A and B are shown apart, each in its own frame.
Chain A
Amino acid sequence: MHDVPELDPPPCAREAVAAIRGELGTLRASIDRIERRLGNLEAAPGRPSAAPPRSERYLRVLVEVYERGGQPGVDSETLALIGRSHGYDRRGLGGFFTGARAPLERLGDRVRLTPSGEALMAAYLEGAAE
């Protein structure tokens, strides 16, 4: 990520807000890109990895959340059902939400894959297809 240059004093508040939002957006995009690269590196089979290899049942949970949740995500009850079918109780499912690159996140009353979770799932699906 490059250094963020100092902003010149803007001619009016409206332009200042636009400029600052732009800088903020650029920073967020950079963070997002870095997170995605990290997720891809950690998820790709055969590459050096800081994360432990994930079990088949762990990855199947991610696939099912992706499938059954569509874009909005699944509700808690559906997540519990998915978890149970793969041997995870509620406590076990909690592990999917912890850590900097947790694969699941809660948005209101829905649960969906994080970018890291999607990268993990995509690598699994690609690997399964080979």
Chain B
Amino acid sequence: MSRRERVLIDGAGLQARLDDPRLVLVEVDERPAIYREGHIAGAHCVDPRRDLQDPLVRDIAGPAAIAKLWHRLGITRESSVVLYGDKSNWWACFGFWLFRVYGLRRLRLLDGGRQAWLADGRAFDRDGPRRHSVALTDVPRPRRRADLRADRAAVAAAAQAGQQLIDVRTAAEFRGEVLSEPGYGHEAAQRAGHIPSAISLPWERLVGADGRILRDAALRERLAAGGVKLELPSITYCRIGERSAHTWFVLHEVLGAPARNYDGSWAEWGSMIGMPIAVGD
């Protein structure tokens, strides 16, 4: 099985596995209400703002909250977890990244998410999630890995050393022409621009119009054209860390490149006192 096949599954592959008792399907949407429109049979709904983030501190959910979530989802050490979602998998990738940060191993992403499932003519249903009867002791213990997440100190050090920082927001956000995309004003930072030394590679360059991730050769070509050197460690960032989780997924999981996601992203960097920023191309 190739690296790609270990982390990505297509609609046909997932359809064939829907009856597998080890399968745990997790839908993570920017707009969780869309889950009630219909979802893949047996899927659980995860609300990224409620379930994946700390309610009191701007941070990812802590180990206890993740253990509770995994218990609710019925995840055990034997589970094979598949994530998918709306908006071409933005938040599904964030969920994937977070579960990886907490050490979950058997994880896959449905290539293209809801969009691709529908495009294949596959059905949604409106029944509830598959119920798993799982003892708390069977739930894996979440242990944070330090090698997949970059904090602001790590990013500052990387910027100073001229290491590879990849800004996956829109070109207009990178240049400092806008603080955020239309509709996301609530995520805007105080300043517009980018982290000094970062290169601009909007996340969507790595997916097709159908939301599916490009084939490996095309990915390598686009990344090289964007100035990304896969052999060098990189840090991805966007506005709040979900689009950059998508690019992190491509780099780290699909291509096996050393990469970390900076989930503080521009909302943090562009709002902190004393942080240098750059504007323009």
14 sample A-B contacts, Cβ–Cβ < 8 Å, listed by A number: A21-B175, A21-B192, A24-B178, A25-B177, A29-B179, A32-B184, A36-B183, A68-B115, A68-B119, A69-B115, A70-B115, A72-B207, A118-B183, A126-B33
Q: Smallest CB–CB gap between B194 and chain A, Å?
A: 11
B:203-218 near A, CB below 8 Å: 204, 207, 209-211
- Whether B277 is near chain A, meaning CB under 8 Å from some CB there, is yes
Q: Smallest CB–CB gap between B37 and chain A, Å?
A: 7
Partner of B177 from A21, A75, A128 at Cβ < 8 Å? A21
Whether the Cβ atoms of B182 and A17 lie closer than 8 Å is no
A26 and B180 CA atoms in complex are apart in Å by 10
Interface residues of chain A: helix, strand, loop or mixed (majority): helix
A14 and B185 CA atoms in complex are apart in Å by 26
A26 and B271 CA atoms in complex are apart in Å by 12
Q: Smallest CB–CB gap between A88 and chain B, Å?
A: 19
- Whether B70 is near chain A, meaning CB under 8 Å from some CB there, is no
Whether the Cβ atoms of A22 and B191 lie closer than 8 Å is yes
Task: Take A18-B176, A125-B33 as given contacts and tell me if A72 and B211 are in contact as well, using a CB distance cutoff of 8 Å.
Answer: yes
Q: Which residue of B lies closest to A110 (CB)?
A: B209
**Residues of chain A with a CB closer than 8 A to B260's CB:** none
- Whether B193 is near chain A, meaning CB under 8 Å from some CB there, is yes
- Whether B31 is near chain A, meaning CB under 8 Å from some CB there, is yes
Contact with A along B65-103 (1 / 0, CB 8 A): 000000000000000000000111010000000000000
Partner of B280 from A17, A28, A29, A36 at Cβ < 8 Å? A17
**Residues of chain B with a CB closer than 8 A to A75's CB:** 209
Q: Smallest CB–CB gap between A15 and chain B, Å?
A: 10
Whether the Cβ atoms of B88 and A71 lie closer than 8 Å is yes
**Residues of chain A with a CB closer than 8 A to B6's CB:** none
Given contacts A25-B179, A67-B115, A114-B183, 13 further A-B contacts (CB under 8 A): A17-B280, A18-B176, A21-B279, A29-B178, A63-B34, A71-B204, A72-B207, A75-B209, A121-B31, A125-B31, A125-B33, A128-B36, A129-B36
- How many residues of chain A get a CB closer than 8 Å to chain B's CBs? 33
Q: Report the tally of A-B residue pairs with Cβ distances under 8 A.
A: 103
**Residues of chain B with a CB closer than 8 A to A24's CB:** 177-178, 192
- Whether A38 is near chain B, meaning CB under 8 Å from some CB there, is no
A103 and B186 CA atoms in complex are apart in Å by 19
**Residues of chain B with a CB closer than 8 A to A84's CB:** none
- Whether B48 is near chain A, meaning CB under 8 Å from some CB there, is no
Partner of B182 from A66, A72, A114 at Cβ < 8 Å? A114
The 10 closest A-B pairs by CB, nearest first: A115-B183, A25-B192, A70-B115, A32-B185, A125-B33, A25-B179, A70-B88, A70-B211, A21-B176, A71-B88
Contact with A along B245-275 (1 / 0, CB 8 A): 0000000000000000000000000000000
A67 and B279 CA atoms in complex are apart in Å by 35
- Whether A122 is near chain B, meaning CB under 8 Å from some CB there, is yes
- Whether A86 is near chain B, meaning CB under 8 Å from some CB there, is no
Whether the Cβ atoms of B180 and A32 lie closer than 8 Å is yes
Q: Which residue of B lies closest to A115 (CB)?
A: B183
